Amino acid sequence: MLKLKYIHATSTILSSPIEYLKGVGPQRADLLKKELGIFTFQDLLDHFPYRHIDRTRVSLVSDIGLHTDHIQVAGVLVNVDVTGDKRTKRLTAQIKDKSGFLELTWFQGISWVQKMLQPGQTYLVYGRVGFFQNRPQIVHPELELLNQQQPDAKSWLEPVYPTTEKLKVRGLGGRQIAKLTQVLMSMLKERDLSENIPADITRQVKLVDRFTAYSQIHFPPDPEAFSRAVSRLKFEELFIAQLRMNLLRSSRHRFSKGVVFDKVGDTFNTFYKEYLPFDLTGAQKRVMKEIRADTARGRQMNRLLQGDVGSGKTIVALLTILLAIDNGYQACLMAPTEILARQHYATIQDLLEKMEVPVMLLTGSTRSANRKKILKDLKEGELKILIGTHAVIEDVVQFSNLGIVIIDEQHRFGVAQRARLWKKAVVPPHVLVMTATPIPRTLAMTAYGDLDYSVIDELPPGRQPITTVHRNETQRSKVMTFLRAEIDKGRQVYIIFPLIEESDKLDYENLMRGYETVKGYFPEPKYWISMVHGRQPSAQKELNMKRFVEGDTQIMVSTTVIEVGVNVPNATVMVIESAEKFGLSQLHQLRGRVGRGAEKSYCIFLTGSNLGNDARERIKIMVSTSDGFAIAEKDLELRGPGDIEGTRQSGALDFKLANIVLDRPLLEMARNLALTVLEADPELVSADNLQLKKFLIESKGHLTWSKIS
């Protein structure tokens, strides 16, 4: 990526092992490594305080009002007491200042805290104020002995560091970490923390220099200096991450070889002109153009295709497959579940019915005679399209000339699994990853910034909005009456039960009970019910699914195994039982199973009547909007980025300071500036970018996310 030739990575003082810092030594070093992941001087410098104690702002107990949030008071510790037993056991104490008493309470670590407390001494106390029986109290306060000799901090704002109980016991509490950091800071010269961001940008964004930022994030002279230091370091973090990601992408663009799809031939044209059952939407056309441009130029395509549920990704996949075939290559379409793979197979077989293009399905349950034939045809190049589950990545599956791999709902596939697919061809095949999980823009540019990105942001014409309502348990029979009316009109309905973990016994029993209840409301032979869940043998699953798809059953009782991809346009009602147990994006995926045909569709969330705040909020959002991207943004806000599916292990979101939700404006600025820099100087060879390049090389960074190539 970057040429190392002219720049020698030098070891700096900051890469010194932490045991060499004065006051640390081998034993404490071990603890710092184990407990806080601090291995080097740099790591200690990057261990940022989570708050500062402002010695100038000590309130009186009597200042506490109903709206006081956090408070810092100073006073004598009195009345330390342990009450209750086992479950209700708690430690209480009071802080007494000249204006009154403030209650302190601990529920955990009671014996340890009790040992530490010294009644009669003066403490500085900080914490969130709560009210218990109308009296203010702080639960698990931060306490600090206020002895005569104050620490020799130069600033008024004293840093407080995250630490652990173990470290505290071994004399490495927040206070001692502050001491160590101070020792380290005093050893450093400006050049040890020299500027890595080009001067233009530091001027434009008004960033304080790097040395000042590090020194003042730990020991700020005043709150303003602290926030300047934080923004500088956040910006740096985001800017560097964006640079790395875009360098990765552009180097892939320049150096990766790929098979060339430069012809549009008979297969594609015949299908397009004669058998395509509808006109493509504008968005579908645009994406096809992007894919064609990408696959024609001799480098490997790595493209993420996002399109909300029902936006029509399957047809884009098929057209891409036909393009590969016209250029003499084979194609593979991979789906996360057997149900989905079968459905893709059925859809594509249907669409290609009048054409002579061999398509086969390979899953875990493919019979061995059939499997043998598939493997043989594949290897000899007779078979052009292979559709399947993860069974297609097994080593025995060998292609003659694989040109493209399309992965539906990629977040269910691991990186290692994907890597095995690329090994199936000499030149790595093109890769198109399709997902209906709407990834908010911020997240996409952070987590998947090294992929090319297409989006289908338009639904096929004629879709009616889905009416979504929230009903509670007591309204169940009304809901069932509504279902009956829809079914009697010839429609089909889904009733979904939570089964988050397929092995969860309780949920399983709920599902079975639910099934019996539904059967009670909808007796045979007038009504027929399909049931699908993760514990069924796949043949049974498939049969049930098939009966529903073909309209032999009117009701599908299921768990989330049908969550992605299933397409039954005649189904118009989706009931979600215990909807409070589902996450936002899951609810959105589920709702996307209806509203796929010409008839008006409904989605009904059934919940208990006592909902927690979060659950209530989620349902409210779902009722108020059907925009997948808006929902994903909310999801990100409610759960935080660490929890978004598919990004959990990516490492891409592990920022020390920046938060991609809260710091979005900064992220966007950092991204734009990184792109500007690279556009002007793609290999960072200009003098202005020398320091930056040196930094990128020396700090290898944590580029561990899923690199799809």
Interface residues with Mg ion (CB under 5 A) are 565
Q: Is 307 in the site for ligand ADP (CB under 6 A)?
A: yes
For residues 281 and 327, which CB has a smaller minimum distance to ligand ADP in the complex?
A: 281
- Name the phi and psi angles at 654, rounded to 5: -80, 70
Q: Is 640 in the site for ligand ADP (CB under 6 A)?
A: no
For residues 194 and 347, which CB has a smaller minimum distance to Mg ion in the complex?
A: 347
Binding partner of 278, given ligand ADP, Mg ion, none, CB within 5-8 angstroms per partner class:
ligand ADP
Per-residue binding string, ligand ADP, 581-600, x by CB under 6 A, is ---------------x----
Q: What stretch of H or E contains 402?
A: strand 402-408
For residue 409, with 0-12 CB atoms within 10 Å meaning exposed, 13-18 middle and 19 or more buried, which class applies?
buried
Assess contact for 484 and 521: CB atoms under 8 A: yes
Cα angle 228, 232, 233; round to 5? 120
Give the CB-nearest residue to ligand ADP: 312
User: Cα separations (Å) of 90 from 25, 99, 106, 116, 121?
Assistant: 38, 26, 6, 15, 21
Whole-number Å distance between alpha carbons of 544 and 457? 33
Whole-number Å distance between alpha carbons of 280 and 204? 45
Minimum distance, C-beta of residue 17 to ligand ADP, in the bound complex (Å) = 52
422-441: burial string, b at 16+ Cβ within 10 Å, e else? bebbebbbbbbbbbbbbbbb
Assess contact for 661 and 642: CB atoms under 8 A: no
Q: Where are the beta strands (DSSP E) in 65-121?
A: 70-83, 90-97, 100-106
DSSP state for residue 162 in the 8-state scheme: -
Q: Is 314 in the site for ligand ADP (CB under 6 A)?
A: yes
For residues 314 and 706, which CB has a smaller minimum distance to ligand ADP in the complex?
A: 314
For helices 338-351 and 313-326, the axis angle rounded to 10 degrees is 60
> Which of the ranges 98-106, 278-286, 320-328, 357-365 carries the binding residues for ligand ADP, by CB under 6 A?
278-286
DSSP state for residue 612 in the 8-state scheme: -
Binding partner of 307, given ligand ADP, Mg ion, none, CB within 5-8 angstroms per partner class:
ligand ADP
Q: Is 628 in the site for ligand ADP (CB under 6 A)?
A: no
Minimum distance, C-beta of residue 360 to ligand ADP, in the bound complex (Å) = 20
Q: Is 255 in the site for ligand ADP (CB under 6 A)?
A: no
For residues 44 and 436, which CB has a smaller minimum distance to ligand ADP in the complex?
A: 436
For residues 54 and 457, which CB has a smaller minimum distance to ligand ADP in the complex?
A: 457
Q: Is 313 in the site for ligand ADP (CB under 6 A)?
A: yes
Q: Is 281 in the site for ligand ADP (CB under 6 A)?
A: yes
Cα angle 458, 459, 461; round to 5? 115
Q: Which amino acid is at 292?
A: R
Judged by CB under 6 A, the residue of 58, 238, 248, 315 near ligand ADP is 315
Backbone conformation region of residue 223, classed left if phi is above 0, alpha if psi is from -120 to 50, else beta: alpha
Q: Is 320 in the site for ligand ADP (CB under 6 A)?
A: no
> Which of the ranges 106-114, 195-203, 275-283, 391-399 carries the binding residues for ligand ADP, by CB under 6 A?
275-283
For residues 346 and 469, which CB has a smaller minimum distance to ligand ADP in the complex?
A: 346
Binding partner of 460, given ligand ADP, Mg ion, none, CB within 5-8 angstroms per partner class:
ligand ADP
For residues 136 and 307, which CB has a smaller minimum distance to ligand ADP in the complex?
A: 307
Per-residue binding string, ligand ADP, 553-572, x by CB under 6 A, is ------------x-x-x---
> Which residues of the shown chain bind ligand ADP in the complex (CB under 6 A)?
278-281, 284, 307, 309-315, 436, 460, 565, 567, 569, 596
